[in-house]
Structure 1
């Protein structure tokens, strides 16, 4: 085999391939040598015509000509010039972009200014519209303009009253000078100093001291006798002095007439006789008191002037207030004894009168002797005791009877011993004096007082007796009043009462005792309130808490919270067009006194305060808003109704238009607070936000508060107390209050729904987080429970609506012991408010929406995550039950959701609330 044979070259490649490669290389070399000089010449010629490049770069031209250097230099200068122009253009472009950005900012600012101006214009238009509407409403009423009456004080010597036929025929219309007490006078009362008259030295020191302390704290007392409406004189209880006896009736009458403002007949004077004992002196019986009214616990029929004199209760707690925690609970309903009575009869009235009564009185008693049922009562009650059908305790003799008036049943033993028996009694018998001429007695008043104090339901045998303040207090709600002839049916009557009725009467008796009889201050306040109500003068307005504002910087534009619900094209209310509107105040000043007298006297908190508004005001019938009484009403669709936008455009409902105030309590959580305030931006029907700054350290100087388009009032507090949440701040100008924690997240639609629900249940707490009180079977006590439940009894005030009326009651009427415990634990203020409202209304709260609790991303851990928090709340509940005497909370098993929530609607209709 040949080495180079077979068409293979020396390199191992075929011969044909090598031949082709050589031919290609030869062609390329020929091309470079022939055509490249021609192309280069053409190129240089062309460049030369345009200025040409530098010859040093290109070298000599083909044909021996060199490239001139000036052409290249010119080209470089052009390049540098172009580069410089490009830099200048870039700087100019950047400058123009900055100017455009500045102009865009100015455009945005102008747009915001235009939007703000539009909003202000819409608000002004709405103010004008609302003013025109209010003016039309006012003109439609066609009421004359009212002005305060001019107060005319009569001359000292000539009161100008027609004299009555006799002092015994005195009534308010004939013996009281109304000219000294105009409706707007404020009811000023002048109290004589007990050291300014002679018999003041004989007054019981304890009574005198208690009376002086009560006078000092009374808001109606004045030091100016020339403007006084009423003059108060303390005439008893009198004690005998070792050196000399108390003044006789004739001497006392002379001393009364010598009083500097007696004015010949004592009109507008009230002689107050306070007794601490069951055997009280009726030394005013033979004293001519003229036109002065008498307030005491014992009256004979010939002495008592119906509608003019006052039957008052004995002064048991003269210097010390009762301990409410020692009062026995109101449950169980039935106690050891069905009823009890301990007493002993006293001799007849005729043989024991302190002085011989007038001849007419003696003749009347002889001609018409009173019917005596005492023997029948004794026999009947003993028969019930011997029957052993029920366990009763009756005793008609005493080892140590207390001194009492004639024909009256004397009290047995010491007060402590009597209270122990009454604590084991379901009912306590109060037998009226045997002689009907004794219409009121201190002994009966003492029995009545002690029974209500410990929760024994009084059973008064004898319908002729005058119970304290009987003209205003409905005693039938707290006591059973039975004529003596029905004593044989008494046992059957008492057995027939249901547990519900008995507990209601026991609760009412506790209210009457606490409000009118428990302290010397209450006794004096009740005497003055009785007279003030009788002459129809309104009570003094209840005080409000002055809000000391903390200056703060505003201006941070509030953003939009991404957590808020998307309501689509459905607005929640006219937020841009409704100006701030404060709730009308004191529209029913005189109605409370003239029309609501009995409700004021027989329901908590009593008649001592005038409130600017209450949740119990009457509601007009539906057609009234269209037929003459439409002031302030904004019906949905003008009365035609509707859903969606028609529903959101007006509040509707059964009461006139109104707004609400957010009260937010905070403590050193500035960032959390600012976020919560921003979430209130654009909230419809919001009047203002009151931030209760509970920290002793003021807000940071550089803290910028959000601008939500409404006032944010930051209130300084005297101390760190959760009770500050419920103070009735004067900055709150609406009836509705939304109490909300600074870390609570609520959507606008949830808030609006809660507000609309509250407007239909104004006397209740309406809110979101529900809780309930559970019974601990093992320990026989109450527990606080926050688990999910189908039954609840509390709505926490961390997010709830309530009426400002309850803020007054919480701060000034509710027992102080409850507020003290809230301060001690720094806890339980929400439970205390639920107790109060349920106690007043006997209704459970209302929970709205499905929300059970709150989640606050980024917030510090709340106190409620600590186990001690729940232990404290357990203690609070059981302590509050002790103070009230029973468990006021009531269970409820329903929740409120909006109308049409799950209803399928036509395409042209919209639901009231999209997510509720």
Structure 2
């Protein structure tokens, strides 16, 4: 038996002293082992109470210590996070400080350049035109002086300042004497001249005066010289000798004739298809094709594709020399005729005898033992002709000739028998029809003059041979590769569409040739107005564009105030030094003076260190380097520059604002142009992020994807970055793409690549967006291109393509890739491995629609039809950052860390 006190102390002694145990200690008084007599021990009870009090105090202290320990651990974790945050902030501030130092250094360098070099402000040239006081007296021409006229002896330069823009005055045909012209010629030429920006209604300011003359609708008889001279002297600004006058004799029929034969035209220049070798004045007169085309508009609809290279016939010809008809018919009817009889029937004219020999050699081609087929006809069905013509007439109907030429790889063109005939209407008509229908002209007779040959290089379009080469003709044609055939055919199509194919382009080309002859720069291209979407009195709300999580912590370049790209620095030298390229490359545009072209040549690399350092920013002042040195300067072969972002948007304001905010602190950014494609203006309570560069929100006249490529007047830089409003590009990717574009200025440089594939089942083109090792397009939802292409897209590209973009509300990016590849014959450049974009939370885009890919298939095939071929080129080339995966020493930095 144990007493209660003894049991309690025993329990405490063996360690059963927890509160839980004490709380559950139950004593049963009926238990015989419990002695309740021990309850009377007061001293023991007092001791227990004391121990319980001590225990409670210790427990409280332990609880306080545990709580304090937890607080200390939380403080240590918070301090650790704070230290890490401060380290990151220190790195960010250090990077920002480096960028600011670089920006200050660049600003000081720019300031020194301004003061030391005294840079002039370069703008488009201001026009300085003539007045009536600029009429310089010239000695009267002698009776035969007009046949010896050249620009230096018969042209009055005083009326044509280099800054005049070449103003042209055209005589009113209705009030002009002798204006009984064929209706089509009269109307279309008047309309074409009316649309030309060079034409001025003020004759006192004019550089040249244009008068249209020619036979009437019925083909007036030749030889009324007195009437022609009377008409010329009746011109109100003839000034006695016709100085600075351009006389147009543009016939539309094969029987048009030279109305100026034997006429004293004074000091006037003549433009027509008829010229004898003694009457044509090189560098003064101009050979033109007859007006066989449409008045204007898109010219591609009636043209065949340029592929395949080889067609049904290797060469074709349909024509007749009237004076040889009888001889050729007799020879074809009786091949066994004795040689002596044949010799007796030959004409006495040596030139005609040569033509018979020529025809004999050509006829042998149809009996060739090769697989080549020829279609050669030297007599016309039905006989007749245009009188006793001394040249090869054109046979058959236009439809018949069209079908034969569409089936011909080469088209034979026989020059007139007499070498005294430099150009005739029928000769020019044959060349015109051949290049229109894709048959490469083969001209036998190297004494002739071809249209606008002063500027157009016909060696890239036609094969011109002396007639003595006829025996080697078949060998020569077989040696022309498919690639060269396609190259000549493509060049011919470009020349036909741009310079010869319609009355409008022909008149524009004639005036452009005359302007270039005087070395007068053309007028600048029209710019698209950039009206703000906001009212003049409305001030949009702004907010700080604080980006909590920057994409990278790299120093990507200096933050500089916006400055424009140099413009119009080659007002005179550009058209002068690149005249050939302006007329004879696929970027043929001699009609406008662009602020800059992507083909402008760079200076030699040492020029930036030897006298021409203005604007150049070589890396480490020329010492080179990576990482830090690389980020501080643009380097490269071009002076410093910036780029403009053009962002198209339609009614998704928050997505737009987020994209704009991410541009904060982007180096080399000049400004952002937001093209507001919605008819509904933005909400007035929108808070536009302050990204430290101007944001111009431009109101679009209508909802069109073509608005992405308009040459807006607010674009002050050569480089344009076209970006979708939902595209998320990191700063280092943008700067890297910009640096790459600076070395590929004539190409599209961007991120998402696509390609066109051949449909094996339906023999057509397909658009493909799958990942591929080969691509042919870079989408303009994230791509750099030169502003020059905006002008070409909006004003030179066939209107049918822009209409198709509006019809589908799709394919504008494909259209731009077609245009640039057609002009440059180069594929785009893809940078980095990025293939597409993710925009969490963005509304469904147009590309998610089921019809999106079907429309893009159709676009590629339609655009190929318009161009006559598919200009897209495949490439397996991709540009990535130098040293990205290269291990560098600890004291060096990579050019870009993450790409």
Q: TM-score, normalised by structure 2?
A: 0.84
Q: Tell me which of 712, 724, 731 is aligned to 2:707.
A: 724
Unmatched 5+ stretches in structure 2: 1-27, 50-94, 325-347
Note if 1:556 corresponds to 2:543: yes
State the match for 2:241 in structure 1.
265
Question: CA–CA distance in 2 between the matches of 1:382 and 1:765?
Answer: 51
State the match for 1:207 in structure 2.
185
State the match for 1:806 in structure 2.
789
Deviations 1:445-500 (A, max 9, x none): 11111111111111111100000111211000011111111011011000001111
| Structure 1 residues 764 and 161: CA distance shift in structure 2, 3 A | farther
State the match for 2:37 in structure 1.
19
Once the two structures are TM-superposed, the CA of residue 307 in structure 1 deviates from its matched residue by 1.1
| Secondary structure in 2 matching 1:691 | strand
Q: Say whether the 8 Å CA contact 1:554–1:707 is kept in structure 2.
A: no
Once the two structures are TM-superposed, the CA of residue 20 in structure 1 deviates from its matched residue by 2.6
Question: CA–CA distance in 1 between the matches of 2:122 and 2:807?
Answer: 54
Q: Say whether the 8 Å CA contact 2:299–2:501 is kept in structure 1.
A: no
State the match for 1:283 in structure 2.
259
Once the two structures are TM-superposed, the CA of residue 318 in structure 1 deviates from its matched residue by 4.8
Note if 1:194 corresponds to 2:176: no
State the match for 1:566 in structure 2.
552
| Secondary structure in 1 matching 2:683 | coil
Question: CA–CA distance in 1 between the matches of 2:861 and 2:128?
Answer: 54
| Secondary structure in 1 matching 2:557 | coil
Deviations 1:750-772 (A, max 9, x none): 00000000000000000000000
| Structure 1 residues 16 and 903: CA distance shift in structure 2, 3 A | closer
| Secondary structure in 1 matching 2:572 | helix
Q: Say whether the 8 Å CA contact 2:124–2:524 is kept in structure 1.
A: no
Once the two structures are TM-superposed, the CA of residue 283 in structure 1 deviates from its matched residue by 1.5
Note if 1:135 corresponds to 2:115: yes
State the match for 1:106 in structure 2.
none
Once the two structures are TM-superposed, the CA of residue 651 in structure 1 deviates from its matched residue by 0.2
Note if 1:600 corresponds to 2:582: yes
Q: Tell me which of 227, 248, 268 is aligned to 1:251.
A: 227
Deviations 1:252-295 (A, max 9, x none): 10221121100000000010011111221112111110000110
State the match for 1:98 in structure 2.
none
Note if 1:180 corresponds to 2:159: yes
Once the two structures are TM-superposed, the CA of residue 158 in structure 1 deviates from its matched residue by 5.3
State the match for 2:380 in structure 1.
398
State the match for 2:511 in structure 1.
528
State the match for 1:431 in structure 2.
414
Once the two structures are TM-superposed, the CA of residue 157 in structure 1 deviates from its matched residue by 7.3
Select between 451-460 and 373-382 the one with higher mean Cα deviation.
373-382
State the match for 1:51 in structure 2.
none
Select between 638-647 and 895-904 the one with higher mean Cα deviation.
895-904
- Aligned pairs, number: 794
Select between 457-466 and 374-383 the one with higher mean Cα deviation.
374-383
| Secondary structure in 2 matching 1:830 | helix
Q: Tell me which of 453, 461, 464 is aligned to 1:470.
A: 453
| Secondary structure in 2 matching 1:130 | helix
Question: CA–CA distance in 1 between the matches of 2:664 and 2:464?
Answer: 60
Deviations 1:694-713 (A, max 9, x none): 00000011111000000000
Q: Say whether the 8 Å CA contact 1:404–1:410 is kept in structure 2.
A: no
Q: TM-score, normalised by structure 1?
A: 0.83
State the match for 2:146 in structure 1.
167
1:649-660 counterparts in 2 under 5 A?
Answer: 649-660=632-643
State the match for 2:357 in structure 1.
376
Select between 901-910 and 551-560 the one with higher mean Cα deviation.
551-560
Deviations 1:588-629 (A, max 9, x none): 111132211111111233311111100000111111111111
State the match for 2:9 in structure 1.
none
Note if 1:622 corresponds to 2:602: no
| Structure 1 residues 129 and 636: CA distance shift in structure 2, 3 A | closer
State the match for 1:830 in structure 2.
813
1:358-757 counterparts in 2 under 5 A?
Answer: 373-389=354-370, 390-400=372-382, 403=386, 406-551=389-534, 553-560=540-547, 562=549, 564-567=550-553, 570-575=554-559, 578-603=560-585, 604-757=587-740
Q: Say whether the 8 Å CA contact 1:402–1:413 is kept in structure 2.
A: no
Q: Say whether the 8 Å CA contact 2:129–2:206 is kept in structure 1.
A: no
1:770-849 counterparts in 2 under 5 A?
Answer: 770-849=753-832
Once the two structures are TM-superposed, the CA of residue 560 in structure 1 deviates from its matched residue by 1.0
Q: Say whether the 8 Å CA contact 2:222–2:257 is kept in structure 1.
A: no
| Structure 1 residues 179 and 894: CA distance shift in structure 2, 3 A | same
| Structure 1 residues 691 and 574: CA distance shift in structure 2, 3 A | same
Once the two structures are TM-superposed, the CA of residue 220 in structure 1 deviates from its matched residue by 0.7
| Structure 1 residues 735 and 214: CA distance shift in structure 2, 3 A | same
| Structure 1 residues 116 and 901: CA distance shift in structure 2, 3 A | closer
State the match for 2:24 in structure 1.
none
| Secondary structure in 2 matching 1:343 | strand
Once the two structures are TM-superposed, the CA of residue 369 in structure 1 deviates from its matched residue by 6.9
Select between 864-873 and 666-675 the one with higher mean Cα deviation.
864-873
Q: Say whether the 8 Å CA contact 1:175–1:291 is kept in structure 2.
A: yes
Note if 1:858 corresponds to 2:876: no
Question: CA–CA distance in 2 between the matches of 1:900 and 1:283?
Answer: 72
State the match for 2:77 in structure 1.
none
| Structure 1 residues 21 and 136: CA distance shift in structure 2, 3 A | same
Q: Say whether the 8 Å CA contact 2:99–2:557 is kept in structure 1.
A: no
Once the two structures are TM-superposed, the CA of residue 656 in structure 1 deviates from its matched residue by 0.6
Unmatched 5+ stretches in structure 1: 1-9, 32-114, 349-366
Question: CA–CA distance in 1 between the matches of 2:598 and 2:385?
Answer: 48
Note if 1:910 corresponds to 2:893: yes
| Structure 1 residues 322 and 277: CA distance shift in structure 2, 3 A | farther
Select the structure with the greater relative contact order (CA < 8 A; seq sep ≥ 6): 2
State the match for 1:238 in structure 2.
216
Q: Say whether the 8 Å CA contact 2:322–2:385 is kept in structure 1.
A: no
Q: Say whether the 8 Å CA contact 1:373–1:484 is kept in structure 2.
A: no
| Secondary structure in 1 matching 2:862 | helix
| Structure 1 residues 16 and 525: CA distance shift in structure 2, 3 A | closer
Q: Say whether the 8 Å CA contact 2:128–2:163 is kept in structure 1.
A: no
Once the two structures are TM-superposed, the CA of residue 370 in structure 1 deviates from its matched residue by 5.3
Once the two structures are TM-superposed, the CA of residue 153 in structure 1 deviates from its matched residue by 4.3
| Secondary structure in 1 matching 2:648 | strand
| Structure 1 residues 372 and 589: CA distance shift in structure 2, 3 A | farther
Question: CA–CA distance in 1 between the matches of 2:746 and 2:548?
Answer: 32
Deviations 1:419-462 (A, max 9, x none): 11000000001110000111001101111111111111111111
Once the two structures are TM-superposed, the CA of residue 132 in structure 1 deviates from its matched residue by 1.6
Question: CA–CA distance in 2 between the matches of 1:404 and 1:132?
Answer: 78
Once the two structures are TM-superposed, the CA of residue 160 in structure 1 deviates from its matched residue by 3.6
Q: Say whether the 8 Å CA contact 2:413–2:444 is kept in structure 1.
A: yes
| Structure 1 residues 161 and 229: CA distance shift in structure 2, 3 A | farther
Q: Say whether the 8 Å CA contact 1:279–1:404 is kept in structure 2.
A: no
Select between 858-867 and 425-434 the one with higher mean Cα deviation.
858-867
| Secondary structure in 1 matching 2:667 | coil
What's the C-alpha RMSD, in Å, of the aligned pairs? 2.9
| Secondary structure in 2 matching 1:548 | coil
| Structure 1 residues 162 and 285: CA distance shift in structure 2, 3 A | closer
Once the two structures are TM-superposed, the CA of residue 388 in structure 1 deviates from its matched residue by 4.5
Select between 415-424 and 588-597 the one with higher mean Cα deviation.
588-597
Larger radius of gyration between Structure 1 and Structure 2: 1
Q: Tell me which of 894, 897, 909 is aligned to 2:877.
A: 894
